[in-house]
Amino acid sequence: MRYSNLGLNEDSENPLYLQLADKLRQAIIRGEVTDGERLPSIRGLSHALQVNPATVVSAYRILEQEGWVRSRPGSGVYAKHKKSLFDIGTDLSYNHFKDEKIADLAAGTPSPDLFPVGQFKEIVLEVLDRDGGWAFEYQHSAGWETFRQTLTRYVKETVHISADPSAIWVVSGAQQGIDLTAKALLHSGDQVIVEHPTYRGALGAFWSRGADTISIELNPNGMDMDILEARLEQTRPRLLYMQSRFQTPTTYSWGKVELYRLLELAERYDFYILEDDLLSDLYFDAVPDPLNIKSVDQQNRVIYVRGFSKVLLPGLRLGMLIIPPKLQGLYEQAKQSSDIATDGFLQRAVDLYLQRDYHKNRMEELRRQYQLLYFQTVRAVEQYLEPLGCSFYRCNGGLHLWLGLPRGVKSAELYTKALERGLRIMPGEAFNDPSHIRLSFACIEPDNIEAAINKLALCLQASSI
């Protein structure tokens, strides 16, 4: 295999080490790297790809955690084939799939048709006219001060968090916020508690630092707090990673009692909570109470990360962290060793967008649109899939459903059959759970939902024969 041909995209929001891990995993799955074959040395592969050796180290660590390679001290890293339903021979990305012949129930971000292109174009031109060349100057590692002040108002009004501008750090997307947390807080051998199932990009960030992850099964009210406390008695983790509202992929939201007890345990056992807030404000009925765990954090135990790609433009490499004061020095070191500072022009553009309150109308529009899509999807699932033995949780928010499959049906096999019939779904293997699929209504027209779900039912019936 010519490793120099592995195409890594430096402009992607997905970090290079995750891209490299994905490329190598697929090469092993496809047989391009044989079982037991020695992979290139860290120095050799970093030279071939023109990347930092740390990128290769991180990718190899992730693959070893997943069981795709094994390290032999003093000898190297060797491929390890395994039978896995993750092997579906295609890309498991969260991106939109632009093909009129394919009904897309896999995309994880809103439809491009809903993007505020006109408003953003107007703002970009206004920033250029107003600031000229100064719009492109380098910013402080924490972000442009004016934008951080605007974000203080934004988080108060939107997600009910009171934060001083000094606590808010601008990052190059939510994934970088997770990466910086791993880099700032974790060392080899540290332990991180995570929900199961959970977001693969977060696991990759923790494993890239040599940390061990401890998974605790998620239920509709969060983790079982007695099980969590028993684990805390056995080990002292550095971090707990969570999504408190409309979790990916389960769609569960933590209960109020569980959130307050989690804060109490964090203080008692001295660990930090990394809250990844994807879509807490995309609710379809009453406002959740509390909207997130950071809003009720009185002891500065919660590190809060939020991206803007779900409410502005996908691929927009901009996000924010709210960092406890005592950790800010560690984050500054991590940020400066990553990209020094986030794009200043983009900060100015989004700052103006938020100051104009354009985001408020956009969220109202998204809630209306996705509430309609949610209920249409639920009705179709009830009509076509529940009679076949499928199950799901009625979440009343977010962008997808987490569909439990009938006994004996594996999601990777269903994915293949669905794609053959012109339907794209997200198999549970992407979240290490082959008994489920993620059905997204983020990027499908309302008129196409019933036909798409009916098509999925036909695929299920074919899988059961």
Residue 288: give its domain's CATH number: 3.40.640.10
* Beta carbons within 10 angstroms of residue 285's beta carbon: 8
Report whether pLDDT(144) > 60: yes
- Give the per-residue pLDDT at 413: 87
Q: What is the mean pLDDT of residues 90-95?
A: 46
- Give the per-residue pLDDT at 91: 45
Task: List the CATH number of the domain containing 395.
Answer: 3.90.1150.10
Q: What is the mean pLDDT of residues 387-397?
A: 96
Order of strands, sheet of 426-427, starting from the edge strand that comes earlier in the sequence: 391-392, 400-404, 436-440, 426-427
Report whether pLDDT(46) > 80: yes
- Give the per-residue pLDDT at 11: 72
Residue 186: CB partners within 8 Å, gap ≥ 6? 192, 206, 209, 210, 211, 238, 239
**176 shares a domain with 34:** no
Report whether pLDDT(314) > 60: yes
Q: What is the mean pLDDT of residues 178-192?
A: 95
Q: What is the mean pLDDT of residues 95-111?
A: 74
Name which of 52-61, 303-312, 389-398 the model is least confident about: 303-312
**177 shares a domain with 36:** no
- Give the per-residue pLDDT at 31: 84
Of 336, 356, 376, the last residue of a domain is 356
Q: How many domains does the chain have?
A: 3
Task: Quick: pLDDT tens for 12-24.
Answer: 767 888 889 888 9
Q: What is the DSSP letter of 41?
A: P
Report whether pLDDT(94) > 50: no
Task: Quick: pLDDT tens for 425-441.
Answer: 999 988 888 899 999 99
pLDDT range class, residue 315, cuts 50, 70, 90: low
Pairing, β 272-276 against β 302-307: parallel
Report whether pLDDT(402) > 80: yes
- Give the per-residue pLDDT at 117: 85
**455 shares a domain with 329:** no
Tokens 């923790």, residue? Answer: 206
* Residue 96 lies inside a defined structural domain of this protein: no
Burial string for 234-247 (b: 16+ CB within 10 Å, else e) reads: eeebbbbbbbbbbb
Report whether pLDDT(9) > 60: yes
* Residue 148 lies inside a defined structural domain of this protein: yes
100 or 238: which leads in pLDDT: 238
Q: 406, exposed or middle or buried, with CB in 10 Å at 0-12, 13-18, 19+?
A: middle
**219 shares a domain with 128:** yes
How many angstroms separate the CA atoms of 251 and 362, rounded?
A: 22
- Give the per-residue pLDDT at 447: 93
- Domain interval for residue 446: 103-108+363-464
pLDDT range class, residue 465, cuts 50, 70, 90: low
How many angstroms separate the CA atoms of 143 and 164, rounded?
A: 14
The region, left, alpha or beta by phi > 0 then psi within -120 to 50, assigned to residue 200 is alpha
Report whether pLDDT(386) > 70: yes
Mean of per-residue pLDDT scores for the chain: 90
* Residue 457 lies inside a defined structural domain of this protein: yes
394 or 14: which leads in pLDDT: 394
Report whether pLDDT(101) > 80: no
**154 shares a domain with 31:** no
Q: What is the mean pLDDT of residues 253-277?
A: 98
Report whether pLDDT(309) > 90: no
Of 327, 356, 385, the last residue of a domain is 356
Closest Cα partner for 441 from 384, 371, 388, 341? 371
392 or 117: which leads in pLDDT: 392
pLDDT range class, residue 96, cuts 50, 70, 90: very low
* Residue 405 lies inside a defined structural domain of this protein: yes
- Give the per-residue pLDDT at 454: 97
* Residue 88 lies inside a defined structural domain of this protein: no
**40 shares a domain with 71:** yes
Report whether pLDDT(34) > 80: yes
* Residue 75 lies inside a defined structural domain of this protein: yes
Name which of 71-85, 198-212, 219-233 the model is least confident about: 71-85
Tokens of 122: 């107007």
